[in-house]
């Protein structure tokens, strides 16, 4: 059995990841990690006690599944790299410097990094990569009111997929107000909405002359994100050091 540490074990995603682990043969919950001072430290989390000591939690695991804010995630990844614990990371909002450090850590231990672990969203990414040429592209995303980073990591990843499909750099337009002039050719607009408890919706609009194609993914729960993260944990077990994506996990390479 591959032993899994769930980081952010009492959060919205951590709860669903712990539930999803019960449905994955070959994986078992070995430890549950929360931030120091969290009121749930010491509580039972599906048969293991919640701890706030990263070294102790990771010492009991083969793979860690990490959903947290950027700096706490990096703190865990530093310990994981030292201990040789492979990681699945769903954290978004890394700065360029934080991303560079993560890539350095991946030279020491296998890390699967993805802004979205939904299988359907990753298929959507492949579709927009193939449809990017010859259209004006706009993205709209909506998430719950507590989400801190904007645009979402998934929206930025989808914009990158459109640009990759075109084989060219594409400036992102994150806001429009006043006299903006004509639309800049090749640009990709991203509009961000926040409210309620929405787990996430992403729409990619390809706007042409006399026609428009809209591709949308809507989440009603976080369960499919959790299932994808657990699937990635099973996949990364035994992998050589390197930075991997859900494209690798799902075998979606062209």
What is the residue extent of each domain of the chain? 2-117+222-250, 119-218
pLDDT category at 193 given cuts 50, 70, 90 is very high
Tens digit of pLDDT for each residue in 71-120?
Answer: 999 999 999 999 999 999 999 889 999 999 999 999 999 999 999 999 99
Mean local confidence (pLDDT), 149-175: 91
pLDDT category at 2 given cuts 50, 70, 90 is very high
pTM as predicted: 0.86
Q: Which residues are catalytic?
A: 143, 147
pLDDT category at 130 given cuts 50, 70, 90 is confident
Please tell me the predicted confidence (pLDDT) of residue 170: 87
For 48, residues 6+ apart whose C-beta sits below 8 A from its C-beta are 29, 30, 31, 32
Please tell me the predicted confidence (pLDDT) of residue 76: 97
Query: Mean pLDDT over all residues of the chain?
Result: 94
Class of domain 2-117+222-250: alpha beta
Mean local confidence (pLDDT), 231-245: 96
119-218 folds as Dihydrodipicolinate Reductase; domain 2 (3.30.360)
């Amino acid at each position: 059995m591959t032993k899994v540490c769930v980081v952010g074990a009492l959060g919205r995603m951590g709860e669903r990841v712990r539930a999803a682990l019960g449905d994955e043969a070959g994986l078992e919950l070995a430890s549950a990690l929360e931030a120091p001072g969290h009121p749930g430290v010491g509580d039972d989390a599906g048969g293991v006690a919640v701890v706030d000591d990263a070294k102790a939690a990771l010492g009991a695991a083969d793979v860690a599944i990490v959903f947290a804010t950027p700096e706490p995630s990096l703190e865990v990844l530093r310990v994981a790299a030292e201990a040789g614990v492979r990681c699945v990371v769903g954290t978004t909002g890394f700065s360029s410097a934080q991303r560079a450090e993560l890539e350095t850590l991946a030279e020491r231990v296998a890390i699967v990094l993805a802004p979205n672990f939904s299988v359907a969203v990753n298929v959507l990414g492949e579709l927009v990569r193939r449809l990017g040429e010859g259209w004006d592209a706009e993205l709209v995303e909506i998430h719950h009111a507590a989400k801190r980073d904007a645009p979402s990591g998934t929206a930025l990843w989808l914009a990158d997929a459109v640009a990759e499909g075109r084989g060219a750099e594409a400036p992102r337009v994150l806001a429009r107000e006043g006299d903006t002039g004509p639309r800049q050719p090749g640009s990709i607009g991203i509009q961000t909405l926040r409210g309620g408890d929405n787990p996430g919706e992403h729409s990619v609009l390809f706007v042409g002359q006399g026609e428009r194609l809209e591709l949308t993914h809507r989440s009603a729960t976080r369960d499919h994100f959790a299932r994808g993260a657990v699937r990635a944990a099973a996949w990364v077990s035994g992998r050589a050091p390197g930075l991997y994506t859900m494209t690798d996990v799902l075998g979606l390479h062209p």
